[in-house]
Structure 1
Protein backbone atom coordinates (compact mmCIF):
# COMPACT_ATOMS: atom_id res chain seq x y z
CA UNK A 1 0.00 0.00 0.00
CA UNK A 2 1.36 3.41 -0.90
CA UNK A 3 1.72 6.07 1.76
CA UNK A 4 -0.46 9.17 1.54
CA UNK A 5 1.12 12.56 0.97
CA UNK A 6 0.88 15.12 3.77
CA UNK A 7 0.50 18.56 2.16
CA UNK A 8 1.09 21.58 4.38
CA UNK A 9 1.55 24.40 1.86
CA UNK A 10 0.45 25.33 -1.63
CA UNK A 11 -0.51 21.75 -2.54
CA UNK A 12 -3.35 21.96 0.00
CA UNK A 13 -5.02 24.24 -2.51
CA UNK A 14 -7.28 22.31 -4.91
CA UNK A 15 -6.45 24.61 -7.85
CA UNK A 16 -2.71 24.12 -7.39
CA UNK A 17 -3.06 20.38 -6.95
CA UNK A 18 -5.19 20.12 -10.09
CA UNK A 19 -2.52 21.98 -12.07
CA UNK A 20 0.20 19.71 -10.71
CA UNK A 21 -1.71 16.48 -11.35
CA UNK A 22 -3.16 17.67 -14.69
CA UNK A 23 -6.50 16.23 -13.64
CA UNK A 24 -9.25 16.96 -11.13
CA UNK A 25 -7.66 16.38 -7.77
CA UNK A 26 -10.65 15.13 -5.84
CA UNK A 27 -11.12 15.87 -2.18
CA UNK A 28 -8.29 16.38 0.26
CA UNK A 29 -10.57 15.91 3.18
CA UNK A 30 -8.42 14.13 5.71
CA UNK A 31 -7.03 16.66 8.12
CA UNK A 32 -3.71 15.75 9.71
CA UNK A 33 -1.13 17.26 12.05
CA UNK A 34 2.64 16.90 11.87
CA UNK A 35 4.30 17.39 15.25
CA UNK A 36 7.81 18.73 15.84
CA UNK A 37 7.79 21.22 12.96
CA UNK A 38 6.58 24.68 12.04
CA UNK A 39 5.68 26.09 8.64
CA UNK A 40 7.72 29.14 7.58
CA UNK A 41 8.15 31.38 4.55
CA UNK A 42 11.05 30.67 2.24
CA UNK A 43 13.20 33.69 1.32
CA UNK A 44 12.28 35.07 -2.11
CA UNK A 45 9.79 32.28 -2.80
CA UNK A 46 5.98 32.07 -2.76
CA UNK A 47 5.88 28.74 -0.92
CA UNK A 48 6.66 27.49 2.59
CA UNK A 49 9.08 25.02 4.10
CA UNK A 50 9.02 23.03 7.29
CA UNK A 51 11.64 23.56 9.94
CA UNK A 52 12.11 21.39 12.99
CA UNK A 53 10.58 22.95 16.06
CA UNK A 54 10.27 21.01 19.31
CA UNK A 55 6.71 21.44 20.53
CA UNK A 56 5.59 22.83 17.17
CA UNK A 57 2.86 21.46 14.95
CA UNK A 58 1.70 21.95 11.39
CA UNK A 59 -1.82 21.31 10.11
CA UNK A 60 -2.24 19.89 6.66
CA UNK A 61 -4.26 17.63 4.41
CA UNK A 62 -3.66 14.13 3.09
CA UNK A 63 -3.70 12.94 -0.51
CA UNK A 64 -4.42 9.22 -0.29
CA UNK A 65 -5.46 8.25 -3.81
CA UNK A 66 -2.81 8.92 -6.44
CA UNK A 67 -1.21 7.11 -9.36
CA UNK A 68 2.43 6.55 -10.25
CA UNK A 69 2.14 9.42 -12.75
CA UNK A 70 0.66 11.66 -10.02
CA UNK A 71 3.63 10.77 -7.83
CA UNK A 72 6.11 11.71 -10.56
CA UNK A 73 4.30 15.02 -11.16
CA UNK A 74 4.28 15.83 -7.43
CA UNK A 75 8.01 15.08 -7.20
CA UNK A 76 8.71 17.29 -10.22
CA UNK A 77 6.62 20.11 -8.76
CA UNK A 78 8.40 19.85 -5.43
CA UNK A 79 11.53 20.46 -7.48
CA UNK A 80 14.92 19.07 -6.93
CA UNK A 81 15.51 21.15 -3.79
CA UNK A 82 13.19 18.96 -1.74
CA UNK A 83 13.30 15.35 -0.66
CA UNK A 84 10.29 13.14 -0.16
CA UNK A 85 10.55 11.95 3.42
CA UNK A 86 8.50 9.60 5.55
CA UNK A 87 6.93 10.72 8.81
CA UNK A 88 4.01 10.02 11.11
CA UNK A 89 1.06 12.40 11.17
CA UNK A 90 -1.86 12.48 13.56
CA UNK A 91 -5.38 12.09 12.20
CA UNK A 92 -8.78 11.75 13.84
CA UNK A 93 -8.36 7.98 13.39
CA UNK A 94 -4.93 7.91 15.03
CA UNK A 95 -1.32 8.05 13.83
CA UNK A 96 -0.61 7.40 10.17
CA UNK A 97 2.60 6.99 8.16
CA UNK A 98 2.81 9.56 5.36
CA UNK A 99 5.17 11.22 2.91
CA UNK A 100 6.02 14.90 3.13
CA UNK A 101 8.39 17.19 1.28
CA UNK A 102 11.36 18.28 3.35
CA UNK A 103 13.87 20.91 2.21
CA UNK A 104 17.33 19.63 1.43
CA UNK A 105 19.17 22.25 -0.62
CA UNK A 106 18.97 25.72 -2.15
CA UNK A 107 16.08 26.64 0.15
CA UNK A 108 16.45 29.45 2.69
CA UNK A 109 13.73 29.17 5.32
CA UNK A 110 13.03 32.37 7.23
CA UNK A 111 11.73 32.83 10.77
CA UNK A 112 8.47 34.25 9.40
CA UNK A 113 5.43 32.00 9.73
CA UNK A 114 3.62 30.96 6.55
CA UNK A 115 -0.16 30.99 6.50
CA UNK A 116 -2.25 29.21 3.88
CA UNK A 117 -5.06 31.72 4.34
CA UNK A 118 -2.75 34.72 3.85
CA UNK A 119 -1.09 33.06 0.85
CA UNK A 120 -4.51 32.36 -0.73
CA UNK A 121 -5.50 35.99 -0.25
CA UNK A 122 -2.28 37.64 -1.42
CA UNK A 123 -0.23 35.28 -3.59
CA UNK A 124 -2.38 32.46 -4.95
CA UNK A 125 -3.30 34.06 -8.29
CA UNK A 126 0.31 34.81 -9.16
CA UNK A 127 1.43 31.42 -7.82
CA UNK A 128 -1.04 29.67 -10.13
CA UNK A 129 0.56 31.44 -13.12
CA UNK A 130 4.01 30.25 -12.00
CA UNK A 131 2.80 26.70 -11.39
CA UNK A 132 1.08 26.54 -14.77
CA UNK A 133 4.23 27.62 -16.64
CA UNK A 134 6.40 25.29 -14.58
CA UNK A 135 4.15 22.24 -14.97
CA UNK A 136 3.87 22.81 -18.74
CA UNK A 137 7.56 21.85 -18.84
CA UNK A 138 7.01 18.59 -16.93
CA UNK A 139 8.89 15.73 -18.55
CA UNK A 140 11.01 17.96 -20.77
CA UNK A 141 13.64 19.48 -18.44
CA UNK A 142 16.49 18.17 -16.35
CA UNK A 143 16.83 19.35 -12.75
CA UNK A 144 19.03 22.34 -13.51
CA UNK A 145 16.83 23.61 -16.35
CA UNK A 146 13.67 23.08 -14.27
CA UNK A 147 15.19 25.01 -11.37
CA UNK A 148 16.15 27.88 -13.71
CA UNK A 149 12.62 27.93 -15.18
CA UNK A 150 11.10 28.13 -11.68
CA UNK A 151 13.41 30.92 -10.53
CA UNK A 152 12.98 32.96 -13.71
CA UNK A 153 9.19 32.56 -13.66
CA UNK A 154 8.93 33.54 -9.97
CA UNK A 155 11.10 36.59 -10.68
CA UNK A 156 8.91 37.59 -13.64
CA UNK A 157 5.53 37.00 -12.00
CA UNK A 158 6.37 38.16 -8.48
CA UNK A 159 8.90 40.84 -9.42
CA UNK A 160 11.64 39.29 -7.29
Structure 2
Protein backbone atom coordinates (compact mmCIF):
# COMPACT_ATOMS: atom_id res chain seq x y z
CA UNK A 1 0.00 0.00 0.00
CA UNK A 2 2.87 2.37 0.82
CA UNK A 3 4.45 1.68 -2.56
CA UNK A 4 1.18 2.44 -4.32
CA UNK A 5 0.77 5.68 -2.35
CA UNK A 6 4.38 6.65 -3.09
CA UNK A 7 3.85 5.96 -6.82
CA UNK A 8 0.68 8.09 -6.85
CA UNK A 9 2.42 10.99 -5.11
CA UNK A 10 5.38 10.74 -7.49
CA UNK A 11 3.16 10.69 -10.59
CA UNK A 12 1.10 13.65 -9.33
CA UNK A 13 4.24 15.62 -8.53
CA UNK A 14 5.77 14.96 -11.96
CA UNK A 15 2.48 15.83 -13.68
CA UNK A 16 2.31 19.10 -11.77
CA UNK A 17 5.93 19.94 -12.68
CA UNK A 18 5.31 19.29 -16.39
CA UNK A 19 2.06 21.31 -16.34
CA UNK A 20 3.78 24.17 -14.50
CA UNK A 21 6.61 24.30 -17.06
CA UNK A 22 4.15 24.28 -19.97
CA UNK A 23 2.05 27.02 -18.31
CA UNK A 24 5.22 29.10 -17.80
CA UNK A 25 6.24 28.50 -21.42
CA UNK A 26 2.80 29.48 -22.72
CA UNK A 27 2.90 32.64 -20.60
CA UNK A 28 6.28 33.48 -22.22
CA UNK A 29 4.82 32.84 -25.69
CA UNK A 30 1.84 35.11 -24.93
CA UNK A 31 4.14 37.85 -23.63
CA UNK A 32 6.37 37.75 -26.73
CA UNK A 33 3.26 37.75 -28.93
CA UNK A 34 1.99 40.87 -27.17
CA UNK A 35 5.35 42.59 -27.74
CA UNK A 36 5.35 41.56 -31.43
CA UNK A 37 2.33 43.80 -31.94
CA UNK A 38 4.19 46.86 -30.59
CA UNK A 39 6.22 47.24 -33.79
CA UNK A 40 5.00 50.86 -34.12
CA UNK A 41 5.89 51.80 -30.55
CA UNK A 42 8.95 49.69 -29.71
CA UNK A 43 12.55 50.54 -30.59
CA UNK A 44 13.29 48.51 -33.72
CA UNK A 45 16.39 46.71 -32.43
CA UNK A 46 14.45 45.57 -29.36
CA UNK A 47 11.55 44.46 -31.60
CA UNK A 48 13.90 42.44 -33.83
CA UNK A 49 15.35 40.77 -30.71
CA UNK A 50 11.96 39.12 -30.17
CA UNK A 51 13.08 36.85 -33.04
CA UNK A 52 15.77 34.20 -33.19
CA UNK A 53 18.98 35.49 -34.84
CA UNK A 54 17.90 33.85 -38.11
CA UNK A 55 14.17 34.37 -37.50
CA UNK A 56 11.92 35.12 -40.45
CA UNK A 57 8.77 37.16 -40.98
CA UNK A 58 6.88 36.12 -44.12
CA UNK A 59 4.97 39.28 -44.97
CA UNK A 60 2.52 39.46 -47.91
CA UNK A 61 3.91 42.77 -49.17
CA UNK A 62 7.53 42.76 -47.96
CA UNK A 63 8.25 39.09 -48.73
CA UNK A 64 10.51 36.98 -46.55
CA UNK A 65 12.30 39.18 -44.01
CA UNK A 66 15.15 37.01 -42.73
CA UNK A 67 17.47 37.80 -39.82
CA UNK A 68 17.54 40.55 -37.24
CA UNK A 69 19.18 43.21 -39.44
CA UNK A 70 16.46 42.81 -42.07
CA UNK A 71 13.82 42.82 -39.32
CA UNK A 72 15.21 46.12 -37.99
CA UNK A 73 15.11 47.58 -41.52
CA UNK A 74 11.50 46.40 -41.94
CA UNK A 75 10.52 47.87 -38.56
CA UNK A 76 12.10 51.23 -39.44
CA UNK A 77 10.30 51.30 -42.78
CA UNK A 78 6.86 50.68 -41.26
CA UNK A 79 7.47 53.19 -38.48
CA UNK A 80 7.95 55.87 -41.17
CA UNK A 81 4.28 55.56 -42.20
CA UNK A 82 2.43 58.82 -41.69
CA UNK A 83 -0.84 58.98 -39.85
CA UNK A 84 -1.99 56.88 -36.93
CA UNK A 85 -1.16 53.16 -37.02
CA UNK A 86 -3.03 50.45 -35.18
CA UNK A 87 -1.70 46.89 -35.08
CA UNK A 88 -3.08 44.54 -32.47
CA UNK A 89 -4.19 41.04 -31.69
CA UNK A 90 -7.89 40.76 -32.42
CA UNK A 91 -9.06 37.47 -31.02
CA UNK A 92 -8.04 34.48 -28.99
CA UNK A 93 -4.55 33.04 -29.18
CA UNK A 94 -4.43 29.37 -30.13
CA UNK A 95 -1.32 27.54 -28.93
CA UNK A 96 -0.14 24.05 -29.86
CA UNK A 97 3.03 22.40 -28.65
CA UNK A 98 4.60 20.11 -31.21
CA UNK A 99 8.13 18.98 -31.90
CA UNK A 100 9.54 20.90 -28.95
CA UNK A 101 8.18 24.20 -30.33
CA UNK A 102 5.07 26.26 -29.72
CA UNK A 103 2.88 27.01 -32.73
CA UNK A 104 0.46 29.91 -32.45
CA UNK A 105 -2.41 31.05 -34.62
CA UNK A 106 -4.17 34.32 -33.87
CA UNK A 107 -6.24 36.99 -35.52
CA UNK A 108 -5.03 40.56 -35.87
CA UNK A 109 -6.16 43.91 -37.24
CA UNK A 110 -4.01 46.66 -38.73
CA UNK A 111 -5.24 50.06 -39.81
CA UNK A 112 -3.60 53.27 -40.97
CA UNK A 113 -4.41 56.38 -42.96
CA UNK A 114 -2.43 56.52 -46.21
CA UNK A 115 -1.05 59.70 -47.82
CA UNK A 116 -4.04 59.54 -50.19
CA UNK A 117 -6.35 60.13 -47.23
CA UNK A 118 -7.77 56.63 -47.48
CA UNK A 119 -8.02 54.33 -44.51
CA UNK A 120 -6.15 51.09 -45.12
CA UNK A 121 -7.49 48.23 -43.05
CA UNK A 122 -5.91 44.83 -43.08
CA UNK A 123 -7.10 41.96 -40.96
CA UNK A 124 -6.14 38.34 -40.95
CA UNK A 125 -4.03 35.82 -39.12
CA UNK A 126 -0.51 35.55 -37.79
CA UNK A 127 0.90 32.03 -37.71
CA UNK A 128 3.88 32.03 -35.35
CA UNK A 129 6.47 29.45 -34.31
CA UNK A 130 8.33 29.93 -31.02
CA UNK A 131 11.35 28.43 -29.36
CA UNK A 132 11.10 28.54 -25.57
CA UNK A 133 14.13 28.19 -23.31
CA UNK A 134 14.69 29.31 -19.74
CA UNK A 135 11.25 30.90 -19.52
CA UNK A 136 11.92 33.11 -22.58
CA UNK A 137 10.09 32.72 -25.91
CA UNK A 138 11.73 33.81 -29.15
CA UNK A 139 10.09 33.83 -32.56
CA UNK A 140 11.45 31.42 -35.14
CA UNK A 141 8.98 32.36 -37.87
CA UNK A 142 5.86 34.42 -38.50
CA UNK A 143 3.63 34.04 -41.54
CA UNK A 144 1.00 36.72 -42.05
CA UNK A 145 -2.24 36.03 -43.92
CA UNK A 146 -4.54 38.98 -44.58
CA UNK A 147 -7.50 40.56 -46.33
CA UNK A 148 -7.43 44.16 -47.55
CA UNK A 149 -9.97 46.94 -47.47
CA UNK A 150 -9.62 50.61 -48.34
CA UNK A 151 -12.38 53.07 -47.60
CA UNK A 152 -12.44 56.76 -48.56
CA UNK A 153 -11.66 58.82 -45.51
CA UNK A 154 -10.23 62.29 -45.12
CA UNK A 155 -7.83 62.41 -42.19
CA UNK A 156 -7.17 65.78 -40.63
CA UNK A 157 -4.14 65.52 -38.31
CA UNK A 158 -5.13 68.81 -36.62
CA UNK A 159 -8.60 67.58 -35.64
Check whether TM > 0.5. Answer: no
Choose between structure 1 and 2: higher strand proportion.
Answer: 2
Look at both structures and tell me which one has the larger radius of gyration over its CA atoms: 2
- Asked which structure has the greater RCO (Cα within 8 Å, sep 6+), the reply is 1
With normalisation by structure 2, the TM-score equals: 0.30
